[in-house]
């Protein structure tokens, strides 16, 4: 089996439109959650979200093409451009049939769908854009990345709600590991902060209603949590087969060594009791990595700030790691970014890679009174912490009972 490394990353999030800005803000505990600015929320129960700020797609993308791209694809291409530049890879020098694009998106072009449906209702069928379908369907994240760079290897989009980005990275890892590609551009993108989506998530009472304190609303694993924060963003990576990367002299962030994917088979939104599916997902990732529970140093939790997810994820960690659980170091990126749905696992992968590189873990903000299920857990709070990480896990758990865990290792030649 081939070894797989990550050589480039790009991000756009509510706390930064590039990797350095995002990382600096996370390390200082800066929240990107605020009152929604992109549309009128006067008739909405929830008025806060994690929006990308000061985003000018023309600064990096073709201005002529932008009007035919949903915001989800714009964010994806923006992050992809940074990842390609960061990896310093010229795809034209290699066999593009061996370079793929596998990217996750839980919803896809929702904003386009809403706008065109409004036209359809108010002005009739003739006014609907001929670009509606290619702008709306989720697979255009991977499709446009492949078109942008002429990539002809494995190309598809994973759709598994909040686990979409992690599943995409896991599939990309396997494609390279099993020899189906030398390089895969992978990650996740989502732009769900729209009037229709906000109403839907709010009416199912999944969202925090702490409208007067936006920066304190996302509270993973805290007893006062009252729901997650909708957010948008993207993170894209360049995954390479190790010898391919070494031959071209690429820098390496870390190695992907394990991927676990399980299903709850339980409920459309609620996780399985005691996080049984999440536990098996972590277990599978560790088994493929060839390490033991005792060797895991750090877990970037899914940590959504919802009642059952946080409780059951904590139980899953305790159940799997037993006496080792209090020795793990944990944090929750969504405390500052909010929940980017299909992009969450990808953005949190970027966090893990930067944590391994810099030996720094960002704090979990708003964790003032931890759940009883977290008793004895070592969450990073207050300030960033220096930690030497050998093995790390990242959890992503989605509506429908989709669970994905990625295992990363500090690179050793």
CATH of the domain at 339: 3.40.47.10
Do residue 76 and residue 190 come from a single domain?
yes
How large is the average pLDDT for residues 238-259?
98
Do residue 18 and residue 112 come from a single domain?
yes
- Compute, in degrees rounded to 10, the torsion defined by CA atoms 32, 400, 379, 352: -70
Do residue 172 and residue 26 come from a single domain?
yes
Model pLDDT for residues 146-157, shown as the tens digit of each residue? 999 999 999 999
Q: What residues are labeled active site? A: 162
Picking from 247, 271, 298, the residue at the C-terminal end of a domain is 247
Residues 6+ positions from 379 with CB-CB distance below 8 Å: 221, 330, 331, 332, 364, 367, 370
What is the C-alpha to C-alpha distance for residues 254 and 390, in angstroms, rounded to an integer?
A: 10
pLDDT at 176 over 90: yes
Q: Tell me, yes or no, whether 96 lies in a domain.
A: yes
pLDDT at 413 over 90: no
Is the four-CA dihedral 376, 378, 381, 385 of positive or negative sign?
positive
How large is the average pLDDT for residues 347-367?
98
pLDDT of residue 357: 98
Q: Which of 101, 108, 153, 150 lies closest to 133 in space, CA to CA?
A: 108
Model pLDDT for residues 123-144, shown as the tens digit of each residue? 999 999 999 999 999 999 999 9
- Strands 183-190, 233-241: pairing is antiparallel
Do residue 192 and residue 121 come from a single domain?
yes
φ/ψ (deg, to 5) at 309: -60, -50
pLDDT of residue 300: 99
Domain containing 396 equals 258-409
The token pair at 278 is 């999440």
- Cβ count within 10 A of residue 91: 16
Q: Tell me, yes or no, whether 253 lies in a domain.
A: no
pLDDT at 257 over 90: yes
Picking from 218, 247, 276, the residue at the C-terminal end of a domain is 247
Model pLDDT for residues 279-335, shown as the tens digit of each residue? 999 999 999 999 999 999 999 999 999 999 999 999 999 999 999 999 999 999 999
Q: What is the mean pLDDT of the chain?
A: 97
How large is the average pLDDT for residues 222-244?
98
Do residue 174 and residue 298 come from a single domain?
no
> Hey, is 161 helix, strand or coil?
helix
Do residue 60 and residue 178 come from a single domain?
yes
Q: Tell me, yes or no, whether 214 lies in a domain.
A: yes
Do residue 314 and residue 194 come from a single domain?
no
How large is the average pLDDT for residues 159-188?
98
Model pLDDT for residues 83-105, shown as the tens digit of each residue? 999 999 999 999 999 999 999 99
pLDDT at 245 over 90: yes
Picking from 219, 247, 275, the residue at the C-terminal end of a domain is 247
The token pair at 261 is 């994917």
Structural domains in the chain (count):
2
Do residue 215 and residue 264 come from a single domain?
no
Q: Tell me, yes or no, whether 252 lies in a domain.
A: no
Q: Tell me, yes or no, whether 219 lies in a domain.
A: yes
Q: Tell me, yes or no, whether 385 lies in a domain.
A: yes
Do residue 177 and residue 45 come from a single domain?
yes
pLDDT of residue 360: 98
Burial class (CB in 10 A: 0-12, 13-18, 19+), 38: middle
**Is this structure's pTM higher than 0.85?**
yes
């Amino acid at each position: 089996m081939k070894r797989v490394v990550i050589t480039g990353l790009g991000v756009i999030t509510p706390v930064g439109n590039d990797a350095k800005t995002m990382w600096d803000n996370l390390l200082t505990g800066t929240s990107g959650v605020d009152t929604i600015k992109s549309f009128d929320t006067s008739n909405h129960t929830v008025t806060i979200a994690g929006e990308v700020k000061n985003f000018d797609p023309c600064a990096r993308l073709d201005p002529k093409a932008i009007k035919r791209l949903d915001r989800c694809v714009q964010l994806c291409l923006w992050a992809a451009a940074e990842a390609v530049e960061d990896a310093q890879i010229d795809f034209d020098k290699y066999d593009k049939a061996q370079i793929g694009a596998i990217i996750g998106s839980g919803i896809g072009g929702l904003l386009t769908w809403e706008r065109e449906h409004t036209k359809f209702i108010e002005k009739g069928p003739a006014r609907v854009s001929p670009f509606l379908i290619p702008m709306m369907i989720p697979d255009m994240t991977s499709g446009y990345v492949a078109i942008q760079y002429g990539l002809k290897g494995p190309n598809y989009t994973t759709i598994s709600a909040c686990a979409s980005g992690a599943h995409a990275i896991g599939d990309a890892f396997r494609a390279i590991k099993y020899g189906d590609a030398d390089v895969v551009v992978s990650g996740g993108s989502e732009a769900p902060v729209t009037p229709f989506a906000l109403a839907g998530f709010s009416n199912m009472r999944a969202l925090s209603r702490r409208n007067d304190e936006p920066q304190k609303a996302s509270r993973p694993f805290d007893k006062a949590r009252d729901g997650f924060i909708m957010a948008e963003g993207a993170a894209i990576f360049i995954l390479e087969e190790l010898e391919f990367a070494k031959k071209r002299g690429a820098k390496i962030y870390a190695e992907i060594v394990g991927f676990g994917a399980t299903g709850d088979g339980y409920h459309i939104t609620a996780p399985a009791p005691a996080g049984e599916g999440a536990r098996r997902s972590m277990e599978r990732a560790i088994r493929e990595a060839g390490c033991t529970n005792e060797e895991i140093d750090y877990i970037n939790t899914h940590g959504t700030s919802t009642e059952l997810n946080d409780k059951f994820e904590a139980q899953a960690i305790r159940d799997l790691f037993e006496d080792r659980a209090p020795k793990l170091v944990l944090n929750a990126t969504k405390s500052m970014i909010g929940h980017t749905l299909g992009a969450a696992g990808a953005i949190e992968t970027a966090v893990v890679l930067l944590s391994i590189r810099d030996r720094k873990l960002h704090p979990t903000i708003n964790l003032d009174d931890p759940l009883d299920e977290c008793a004895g857990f070592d969450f990073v709070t207050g300030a960033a912490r220096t930690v030497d990480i050998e093995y790390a896990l990242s959890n992503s758990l989605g509506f429908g009972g989709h669970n994905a865990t990625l295992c990363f290792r500090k690179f050793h030649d």
